[in-house]
Amino acid sequence: MKVAVIKNEDTYKATFEAVEKLDVDFSGKVLIKPNLTLDVSKHRRACINPEVVRALIDIVRQHSDIPYVGESSMVGVIP
């Protein structure tokens, strides 16, 4: 597992920097699976920042073909 730590107030740019450091392989289809299931403030960090998703979509578009974004709903889920 690889991890990149980036200090940058601009979340969009920081995402680009992190992916660049991780040397991600974009061959084949790319699925972005964000955690967007809760309606909470981004400051609670319970869900991904939408700027990260936007950046990842743009990165995939630059390196590959069509980005796929998949998410499931918390509505109706029985624990």
Give tens-digit pLDDT for 40-49. 666 666 678 8
Q: What is the pLDDT of residue 54?
A: 95
Spatial distance between the Cα atoms of 54 and 59, rounded to a whole number of angstroms: 9
Quick: pLDDT tens for 2-36. 899 999 999 999 999 999 999 888 888 889 988 77
Query: pLDDT at residue 38 above 90?
Result: no
26-55 residues labelled b (16+ CB within 10 A) or e (exposed): eeeebebeeeeeeeeeeeeeebbbeebbeb
